[in-house]
A and B are shown apart, each in its own frame.
Chain A
Amino acid sequence: MGIFTKFRKKSPWILHYNTGGCNGCDIEILAALAPKYDIERFGMLNRGNPKQSDILLVTGPVTKRCRDVLRRLYLEMPEPKVVVAMGACAYGGGIFRDFYHVENGVDNIIPVDVWIPGCAPRVEAVIDGMVEAVKIWEKKSKEKEYMRNHSEELLEQLGARNDD
């Protein structure tokens, strides 16, 4: 808890990733960015870049294709960081639950801090979720965070071999 910690809530930067949902949630997120709701007045920016983001906003049920990508994006984000899972699919798969290609929700892959319910959630719900996320984020430290159920070796395997 440094002197800069209280500035955290003023500028949460968001990385949004869709793991194979129906895009309904994504449209709601766009609505949140647009003039009517304008979440930039809270200092929130959609960076699209894990290196500079604080909040990972995940939508969709996590297809098998997306699994490793999601893990890597999570690992590339510097701590402190918060994961927000949005929509019914992100919570246990939604209508895609138990499909052959689906991992049944975000928390099977990475630790989730905030759930936003709804299919698709209203924009007010998104903003509410973000506020909750920022509250949790303020309490986090910048120590390295480890993912549940995954050892360091596995994390190394997820990375690419670096031959160009």
Chain B
Amino acid sequence: MELYVTLSIVLPWIVAFVIYLVKNDFVTNVLSLLMLPVLAYFAWEIYFSGNLPMLVDTPHWVDYAITIYDFGLLGYFLYQGIKNKSMLVSALAVLQLVLLIIVILMIEHSNTANIYIDKLTAFMYMIVAIVGVPIAIFATKYMEYDEKGKHSFVAILIWFLGVMNFAVSVNNIEWFFALFETTTLASYVLIRFRMDDQAVKNAILALWMNQIGGVAILFALLTFLKTSGLYHFTDLLNTDSKMLSLTALGFLSLSALVKGAQMPFHKWLLGAMVAPTPVSAILHSATMVKIAPYLLLRISPVIKGTLLAKLLIITTGFVFVAAAVIALTQENFKKILAYSTISLLGLMMLAAVVGTPIAITASLLLILFHAFAKGFLFIEAGVLEKVFHVKYIKQMRRLIERAPLTLMFIFFGFLNMTFVPFGTFIGKWIMIEEASGFLSHGSYVLLILYVGAGSAFLSVLYMKVLGISVRKSHGIERVRALPLPLKFNFVSVWYYGWLLFLTVFIAPFIATQIVPIAQELSGQIPNIHADNLSLVINTSTLYFWQILGALVILSLIHALPFFVHFKNVDTARPYNCGEAFPRHIETYNFVCISKYENYLIAFSIALFVMVLVLGGGLL
């Protein structure tokens, strides 16, 4: 058991190191393929071991090693800041160094174990294994298309998975800071991987923005040390929540918001798209941004119901809607996906902050299904980029004639993001159901409005993008599918199969797998159970015939047009007022919204300050 935990954390580091050193095609391919069953097996064993939650003690030298590692890391940041002439990076690195020294001077020895494994951790391991590793497999083929440094790239991806596994299993906030900054480092290295000017500029942007999160964690740590002397998650959760300083929790939430790329800090996630596409895939799905809802889920029992929580609801909900609205104006396919990630991260955090057991279930569902769907969509974006040379939605025009199979996968990914029987929808539905129960505060009505409006905007966004790519000339009936590389197809079918499987059995899946996690996190039993294959929440039921019916209709909608052709029906030309030459057709580009973008960002900054000042009680 402890062995599995240790291996889950250490093995990716070792494998990454081996790949980096050997730089052999065969070794890279085999090791990355092997990681999938191995990590999944470890996660499976941990998840079903039965003696969760458990604390794992670590030897003392690890403590010292991590402190030394911290200094090394911050020194590296300082060096990068000086090297790239970025005042901001160096200044933040120096600030963190100073704060870290103060923390180390203040910190007292605690007997609480530094590694804490509970069901949430095992759940995150599972996501990393099932969603994260296929991206590394995908990258082994992707990097063969006119890119340099395949082996080091795959090595960094796998190392990143190891870092993520480590980050979700630490209990000590000081360690958490180290791992938080390591994910920052990993994203920095990955974003500037192509090493051109734009990449380095965006990498620096990601670096300083995430360092703000690091500073916030250190402030939180300092406040915790000053007020209660506790610096372990388990200790914090076990004490009376009135004793805890809201300021510290406010700072922790702030770091989560920064990591989760919420509105004023969303630029770094958008900048990540200059890197090779697997980077975006891994940042958006399994790792990095998922730390944000993870952190809020960890502290949700103590911030539930406070003013801080209500302000966080308003902030994240606002981001959920605003990011969806801004996404409508975007041209670049990866940017659209990035905005929708920002938006849905807002929803996940909103659900985590509400903190009732059902809301936590919703948050976990959103984390899982968003990871699958976003990994899937970015994989397809990578295929589009490399095989079909499509980057902008303008170039996606009539994609159905060139890339029917890829378009079908994209269609399915989009359906997963909003439509009825899929996990993300169930998350939203549960949120509205839950929030309707306690509408005593204005922020909860706002919450319902946010969820309703945001999902409407996101549906519009996806339908718009799909609409551009399904446009088809009359006369072209049977389309030729271009053969794709085996690895691309394997990864696509992997995600497709998982999503389909989980959706059909969603009710027992939620009742047996997600509910126990929510129960463990919140300490109460959420009123969700499965009636055979139907899902029952409080008094409402999502019947199995509804799930299946919607699934069949949507499967027909997204797959049927590629296979069914009416043979005996004559075709006519589209109506064009009888003119011979069709007019050039464009869809709305929502330019009228983009002029409000700065107002939206300014408003979100105001909300951020409000969270800190009012919610955290800073003044």
Residues of A within 8 A of B (CB): 49-51, 68-70, 72-73, 75-76, 78, 144, 158-160, 162, 164
| Among all A-B residue pairs, the 3 with the closest Cβ atoms | A69-B578, A162-B473, A72-B578
Q: Which of A68, A75, A164 contacts B580 (CB 8 A)?
A: A68
* Contact A159-B573, Cβ < 8 Å, known A164-B398, A164-B471, A164-B585: yes
Question: Are B572 and A51 in touch, CB under 8 angstroms?
Answer: yes
Interchain nearest-CB distance for B578 vs A (Å): 3
A162–B474 Cα distance when bound, in Å, is 8
Find the A residue at minimum CB distance from B398.
A164
Q: Which of B570, B577, B579 contacts A144 (CB 8 A)?
A: B570
B501 within 8 A of A: no
B50 within 8 A of A: no
Residues of B within 8 A of A (CB): 397-398, 471, 473-475, 570, 572-573, 575-582, 584-585
* Contact A69-B398, Cβ < 8 Å, known A51-B572, A144-B570, A164-B471: no
Question: Are B582 and A70 in touch, CB under 8 angstroms?
Answer: no
Question: Are A73 and B471 in touch, CB under 8 angstroms?
Answer: no
**Chain A residues whose C-beta falls within 8 Å of the C-beta of B474 in the assembled complex:** 162
Interchain nearest-CB distance for A101 vs B (Å): 18
**Chain B residues whose C-beta falls within 8 Å of the C-beta of A73 in the assembled complex:** 578
Q: Which of B473, B578, B581, B584 contacts A70 (CB 8 A)?
A: B578
Question: Are A51 and B575 in touch, CB under 8 angstroms?
Answer: yes
**Chain B residues whose C-beta falls within 8 Å of the C-beta of A76 in the assembled complex:** 572-573, 575, 578
* Contact A160-B573, Cβ < 8 Å, known A68-B578, A68-B580: yes
Question: Are B582 and A50 in touch, CB under 8 angstroms?
Answer: no
Question: Are A160 and B576 in touch, CB under 8 angstroms?
Answer: yes
A76–B570 Cα distance when bound, in Å, is 11
A76–B579 Cα distance when bound, in Å, is 12
A37–B174 Cα distance when bound, in Å, is 86
Interchain nearest-CB distance for A13 vs B (Å): 14
Interchain nearest-CB distance for B571 vs A (Å): 11
Starting from the known contacts A158-B580, A160-B580, 10 additional A-B residue pairs (CB-CB under 8 Å) come to: A50-B578, A69-B577, A76-B572, A78-B572, A160-B573, A160-B579, A162-B473, A162-B474, A164-B473, A164-B582
Find the B residue at minimum CB distance from A72.
B578
**Chain A residues whose C-beta falls within 8 Å of the C-beta of B575 in the assembled complex:** 49-51, 76
Find the A residue at minimum CB distance from B583.
A164
A-B contact pairs, 10 of them (CB 8 A): A50-B578, A51-B575, A70-B578, A72-B580, A75-B572, A76-B573, A159-B580, A160-B580, A164-B584, A164-B585
A20–B474 Cα distance when bound, in Å, is 30
**Chain A residues whose C-beta falls within 8 Å of the C-beta of B585 in the assembled complex:** 164
Chief secondary structure at chain B's binding surface: loop
**Chain A residues whose C-beta falls within 8 Å of the C-beta of B584 in the assembled complex:** 164
Interchain nearest-CB distance for B269 vs A (Å): 33
Interchain nearest-CB distance for A110 vs B (Å): 12
A159–B572 Cα distance when bound, in Å, is 10
Q: Which of A68, A75, A159, A164 contacts B397 (CB 8 A)?
A: A164
Chief secondary structure at chain A's binding surface: helix
Q: Which of A68, A69, A72, A78 contacts B573 (CB 8 A)?
A: A72
A3–B576 Cα distance when bound, in Å, is 34
Interchain nearest-CB distance for A88 vs B (Å): 24
Interchain nearest-CB distance for B394 vs A (Å): 11
A50–B575 Cα distance when bound, in Å, is 8
Find the B residue at minimum CB distance from A161.
B581
Interchain nearest-CB distance for A34 vs B (Å): 25
Interchain nearest-CB distance for B487 vs A (Å): 33
Interchain nearest-CB distance for B507 vs A (Å): 43
**Chain B residues whose C-beta falls within 8 Å of the C-beta of A75 in the assembled complex:** 572-573
**Chain B residues whose C-beta falls within 8 Å of the C-beta of A51 in the assembled complex:** 572, 575
A162–B580 Cα distance when bound, in Å, is 10
Interchain nearest-CB distance for A58 vs B (Å): 12
**Chain A residues whose C-beta falls within 8 Å of the C-beta of B397 in the assembled complex:** 164
Question: Are B572 and A162 in touch, CB under 8 angstroms?
Answer: no
Interchain nearest-CB distance for A153 vs B (Å): 15
Find the B residue at minimum CB distance from A68.
B580
Find the A residue at minimum CB distance from B570.
A144
A6–B370 Cα distance when bound, in Å, is 55
**Chain B residues whose C-beta falls within 8 Å of the C-beta of A160 in the assembled complex:** 573, 576, 579-582
**Chain A residues whose C-beta falls within 8 Å of the C-beta of B580 in the assembled complex:** 68, 72, 158-160
**Chain A residues whose C-beta falls within 8 Å of the C-beta of B581 in the assembled complex:** 160
A68–B576 Cα distance when bound, in Å, is 12
A164–B575 Cα distance when bound, in Å, is 15
**Chain B residues whose C-beta falls within 8 Å of the C-beta of A159 in the assembled complex:** 573, 580
Find the B residue at minimum CB distance from A66.
B578
Find the B residue at minimum CB distance from A51.
B575
Interchain nearest-CB distance for A75 vs B (Å): 7
**Chain A residues whose C-beta falls within 8 Å of the C-beta of B473 in the assembled complex:** 162, 164
Find the B residue at minimum CB distance from A158.
B580
**Chain B residues whose C-beta falls within 8 Å of the C-beta of A68 in the assembled complex:** 578, 580
Counting chain A CB atoms within 10 Å of each CB, the highest count among B474, B578, B581 belongs to B578
A78–B473 Cα distance when bound, in Å, is 20
Interchain nearest-CB distance for A78 vs B (Å): 8
Find the A residue at minimum CB distance from B581.
A160
A70–B578 Cα distance when bound, in Å, is 7
Interchain nearest-CB distance for A142 vs B (Å): 11
Interchain nearest-CB distance for B402 vs A (Å): 13
A158–B580 Cα distance when bound, in Å, is 7
**Chain A residues whose C-beta falls within 8 Å of the C-beta of B576 in the assembled complex:** 160
Find the B residue at minimum CB distance from A70.
B578
Find the A residue at minimum CB distance from B576.
A160
Find the B residue at minimum CB distance from A163.
B473
**Chain B residues whose C-beta falls within 8 Å of the C-beta of A70 in the assembled complex:** 578
Interchain nearest-CB distance for B618 vs A (Å): 56
Find the B residue at minimum CB distance from A49.
B575
A159–B471 Cα distance when bound, in Å, is 19
A70–B397 Cα distance when bound, in Å, is 30
A164–B394 Cα distance when bound, in Å, is 12
A50–B578 Cα distance when bound, in Å, is 9
A51–B570 Cα distance when bound, in Å, is 13
A135–B577 Cα distance when bound, in Å, is 28
Interchain nearest-CB distance for A14 vs B (Å): 16
A72–B398 Cα distance when bound, in Å, is 24
Find the B residue at minimum CB distance from A74.
B578
**Chain A residues whose C-beta falls within 8 Å of the C-beta of B577 in the assembled complex:** 69
Find the A residue at minimum CB distance from B475.
A162
Interchain nearest-CB distance for B228 vs A (Å): 65
A75–B572 Cα distance when bound, in Å, is 8
A72–B397 Cα distance when bound, in Å, is 26
**Chain B residues whose C-beta falls within 8 Å of the C-beta of A72 in the assembled complex:** 573, 578, 580
Interchain nearest-CB distance for B174 vs A (Å): 59
Interchain nearest-CB distance for A82 vs B (Å): 18
**Chain B residues whose C-beta falls within 8 Å of the C-beta of A50 in the assembled complex:** 575, 578
**Chain B residues whose C-beta falls within 8 Å of the C-beta of A144 in the assembled complex:** 570
Interchain nearest-CB distance for B567 vs A (Å): 15
